[in-house]
Amino acid sequence: MSDACCSDEKPGTGESDEEEEAVGFWQVSEVRAAAASGVLLLAAWITSLAAGPEWLTLPLEIAALVVAAWTFVPSTLRRLVKGKIGVGTLMTIAAAGAVALGQFEEAAMLSFLYAISEGLEEYSLAKTRRGLRALLDLVPAEAKVLRGRTEVTVAPAELVLGDRLIVRPGERLATDGRIITGRTSLDTSALTGESVPVEAGPGSEVYAGSINGTGPLEVEVTSTAENNSLARIVHIVEAEQSRKGPGQRLADSIASKLVPGILIAAALITVYGFIVGEPLLWFERALVVLVAASPCALAISVPVTVVASVGAASRIGVLIKGGGALETLGRIRTIALDKTGTLTRNQPVVVDVATTGSATREEILALAAGLEALSEHPLARAILAAAPDRAAVTDVDTLPGAGLEGLLDGRRVRLGRPGWINPGPLAADVETMQHAGASAVLIEADGAVIGAIAVRDELRPEAREVIARLSASGYTTAMLTGDNVITATALGKAAGISEVHADLRPEDKAEIVRVLKSRQPTAMVGDGVNDAPALATADTGIAMGAMGTDVAIETADIALMGEDLNHLPQVLDHARRTRAIMLQNVGLSLLLIAVLIPLALFGMLGLAAVVLIHELAEIVVIANGVRAGRLSGKTVLKAAQPAPALEPAA
């Protein structure tokens, strides 16, 4: 693979997957070529020290030159035929010029050092790419399925929809599925980054790579091996790697403009040599300037950092879709969070019931359950779970954004939010419920309110600690919700969020995000479906709990695969650190060029010295970029602390 340090010189195809995913350092062809060239150069140097004849030293130097030049000259010539120039072009011209001057040792040294840098770059990129593709290794090599009444062992690729997997304790799931029989606790830490096992039973969705904990399972296959959750994650991220952020576009732009400029400057230096009558001296200096101004380190500085950082994030259950999303995340200063399913568990429960007249708690719950019997709304599930019986309500109609109405023994009954139904004598009770952070649902019969039900979606236990951590890191936080102002304010206060926007429809959330964006870079955190307009409007859209959710993975810039809100400050810290590393690399690369060019132009450094300094600096840039593949101590997850309890609704 040639010109790895400069993307416009690097062949886009033709490299085998085996080489691209080389496991060992010595499996990289450029490294092997550089090693062979180095041995030949060492032999030539020892021969010259021993005052050996030139006919013995020169062939060794030429052999070292040819072996090292093989790593970049052929591909450079192929690119030149297509009218494309890059860093390899500069190195090829410099090596050819040194040969023309009879400096075979310098030409061989230049090619040798450049081959080393090529090999290190390819190894570092392949190593970090493997960090992402290692997710696929979580799938076991074989799976046990029931075919007829017989248990057989097959390769995961042979699984078809509807197959019944047999998964025993300690075994990994070979693909996505739905539990038919059995109960267990699943270890999904490799997928979501969450260390707490997930309880699962009949009907639960399970994902490839999860480890079965305590009990045997029978699982119906719902996805093929090529299209399961793990494969989708890897394919999406690899496809999105081409999305470049501002830093990478800047580096690419500078490198693409710098190479032609360097060639022109070298030509002018050579012409100046003829004018002053010292063509050989200034031709040699022109060659040194070519190498000194090479933007190799600049071109590789951001890509290696991005690949390392994205791979590290995938290991903690965070899906980052390309360098553009990563760089933008590093600039975020405002975090807008949806309430339901993000700050809360999205598992509301009935916490109180208020009644009027002779109506009882049981009657109110039964009537509400009769109206909500066919509803899929989260509040409906809470009411149905709390109701001992269901009234036989008929002719139920849904009024979007308001509530439900139907008939019970010929009487018109309604269920809905305050405003659509007048709370009347229950106004004080409803206000108390809302101040306690609960949503109030009113029940009406024949035009008179007879009861109110308080339903509350509790905050996640880690919510307050996460918000405090974000605030301490300098982020502004805001909560966006469709709840009424009183309920939203109570929940926001419990979570530690001071800026609360309530009574919002999806389009309203997008407008609030647009206003926040006008102040400073803003991220929106939501479920990836109902919050789609706001996610799309934000500088960065972050979908939470996206494991197995096609819409979230496809539409969000960042996806938190698990349900632990701690991953939010974790990935923000990671992105900030990555962006700092990018800026360090770009700054160091530009400084290197600015210092080396005048030193080369005035003859203070020779060809071999410039090459050595340049390539050593490039190694520093690569090593610094690879640091983004390690999570800093600040990003280590802490155990979730319980959020402060909300006041009782009554």
Determine the Cα–Cα distance for residues 47 and 647; give it in Å rounded to an integer.
87
Q: In the structure encoding, which two tokens stand for residue 185, read together?
A: 């606790």
Answer for the pair 298, 593: CB distance below 8 angstroms, yes or no: yes
Options 176, 338, 457, 531, the catalytic residue: 338
Bridge partners (DSSP) listed for residue 404? 398, 415
Neighbours of 446 (CB within 10 A): 11
Q: In the structure encoding, which two tokens stand for residue 495, read together?
A: 């979570």
Answer for the pair 8, 114: CB distance below 8 angstroms, yes or no: no
Query: Which three-class secondary structure string do you get for 49-75?
Result: HCCCCHHHHHHHHHHHHHHHHCCCHHH
Name the amino acid, one letter, at 414.
Answer: R
Q: Which helix (H) or strand (E) holds 444?
A: strand 439-445
Neighbours of 632 (CB within 10 A): 12
Q: In the structure encoding, which two tokens stand for residue 348, read together?
A: 């509301």
> How many angstroms separate the first and last alpha carbons of the chain?
71
Phi-psi region of 322 (alpha: psi -120 to 50; beta: other; left: phi over 0): left
Quote the strand ranges of 50-201, DSSP E.
143-147, 150-154, 164-167, 177-181, 184-187, 198-200
Give the burial class of 399: count Cβ atoms within 10 A of its Cβ; 0-12 exposed, 13-18 middle, 19 or more buried: exposed
Determine the Cα–Cα distance for residues 423 and 419; give it in Å rounded to an integer.
8
Name the amino acid, one letter, at 550.
Answer: D
Annotated catalytic, 527? no
Name the amino acid, one letter, at 266.
Answer: A
Chain centroid to CA 529 = 18
Q: Is 418 helix (H, G, I), strand (E, B) or coil?
A: strand
Alpha carbons within 13 angstroms on the beta-carbon side of residue 129 total 18
Bridge partners (DSSP) listed for residue 184? 200
Answer for the pair 523, 336: CB distance below 8 angstroms, yes or no: yes
Active-site residues, by number, are 338
